Amino acid sequence: MGHADQNKKAGNGEPNSNAAVQPEGATRCSDQSSDVKVKTLTCSLTGMAPLFTPIKIGGLQLSHRIIMAPLTRCRASPNNVPNTKLSGEYYAQRTTKGGLIVSEATNINPQSVGHFCAPGIWTPEQVDAWKGIVSAIHAKGGFIFLQLWHVGRGSHSAYQPDGRPPVGPSPIAIKGQTSLPDGTEAPFEVPRELTVEEIAALLDDYRKATNNAFLAGFDGVEVHGANGYLIDQFLHDGSNQRTDKYGGSIENRARLLFEVVEAVQKVWIDAAGAGTPKAANVALRLSPFGKYQDMSDTHEAELYGYVIPNLNRFNLAYLHVVEPRVSAGPDAIAVVNNLGKTFSGPLISAGGYRPDDANQTVMDGCKSNPPRAVAVAFGRLFISNPDLPLRIFLRTDLHNYDRSTFYTHEAVGYTDQPFLKDGEIADHIKELREAQPDNEKLQAAIDGEIQMLKVQV
């Protein structure tokens, strides 16, 4: 995502023995993107069962559909090196066996930086730091994709290595203020328009960052094309008024997006080995109708009506969509829902979800025609509830987050958030068991699910 505080709303596979049990009368759907069937459950045990059915994402088989969304937390060093110990603990705390984490947005080069102490992936030191974090996740049986990030005009000359203004598609500034490295605020600057030659160099930087992500051990990469950052800026005519091959028509404005995805995917496939499961793990994030950082377009529906179907040629691991239900009205939501049906692969939906509506979103995907493989990304709730999947399964209370600790560069509000205690877990398990005491399959499913979701602190 770019920030923990923005965008209030950040299958395939047969359910295994650890999945919630299918009661009598539950619905079975088949996912047309795969020859493997999915049992979508309407389980009276928790009411959350669809979130706990497996889903195939690229070359990964996930054990549940609760994804940790990318969240900028600003815990890296001032030179953008991840804090292996602190961030390794933070991510490991939120790792479940077979679960997927999308990393915080990670800068691809020095020019892409727009936030103090946000991590990078362009130097050997950064790669080595990420290795330790990724290893901590893998040690607990989890998976992680790295989100590749360039903020474009969202930066400031104070962050730029040459002290020049930030870059963008056109010299159009974002309205409002931005935070500087010294903690003060200043107006966003008028960006410098990228030349065609600089765009070619930018694509090389995406390639290098992708290869570095592979070297760091990430399971996949997600291109950040959302939330008003560089790729999103090129897509929208409110920020892109170029007259060359990267501006004007929708096709031209989408050119950079497709060139980045193509470049990233080729490098990733070459590194992983064509035909291997890992080679399939390239994804993209978009935010149709998003308003963050002054995004606007005169024909938003037409823009994404062109972009999303044309992504199918890449066979992406998933498309990560920031739903517009906070930033736009019901008409926009309906348009995005229809556009999602034009994408042939799995969808990850983000945007301020609570457990009940997340569960319904997964169910709606299964019941749609054709059925869609859908998972849901949770952002800020993962900050204050490191054992979020377990809490959702047990239907426990969720802790509120503290915005004042989102970007404070320290452990407070980061690795000190509360977990369910063993006694609390036992009490909730007892309630689940007592609901259907004679159902042996149900009892076995509870045991398996708890073992999969319980975070070992």
In contact, 106 and 147? CB cutoff 8 Å: yes
The 3 state secondary structure assigned to the chain is CCCCCCCCCCCCCCCCCCCCCCCCCCEEEECCCCCCEEEECCCCCCCCHHHHCCEEECCEEECCCEEECCCCCCCCCCCCCCCHHHHHHHHHHCCCCCCEEEEEEEECCHHHCCCCCCCECCCHHHHHHHHHHHHHHHHCCCEEEEEEECCHHHCCCCCCCCCCCCEECCCCCCCCEEECCCCCEEECCCCEECCHHHHHHHHHHHHHHHHHHHHCCCCEEEEECCCCCHHHHHHCCCCCCCCCCCCCCHHHHCHHHHHHHHHHHHHHHHHHCCCCHHHHCEEEEECCCCCCCCCCCCCHHHHHHHHHHHCHHHCCCCEEEECCCCCCCHHHHHHHHHHHCCCCCCEEEECCCCHHHHHHHHHHHHHCCCCCCEEEEECHHHHHCCCHHHHHHHCCCCCCCCHHHCCCCCCCCCCCCCCCCHHHHHHHHHHHHHHCCCCHHHHHHHHHHHHHHCCCC
What is the rounded radius of gyration, in angstroms, for the C-alpha atoms of the chain?
Answer: 21
Closest CA to 246 of 259, 265, 263: 259
User: CA-to-CA distance for 66 and 53, rounded, in angstroms?
Assistant: 10
229 catalytic per annotation: yes
Q: How many C-beta atoms lie closer than 10 Å to residue 1's C-beta?
A: 28
What are the backbone dihedrals phi and psi of residue 13, each rounded to the nearest 5 degrees, phi first?
110, 140
Whole-number Å distance between alpha carbons of 256 and 357? 34
Catalytic member of 90, 206, 229, 318 = 229
- Residue located via tokens 């978009």: 286
**Is the Cβ–Cβ distance between 250 and 310 less than 8 Å?**
no
As a whole number of Å, the end-to-end CA separation of the chain is: 26
Give catalytic residue positions.
229
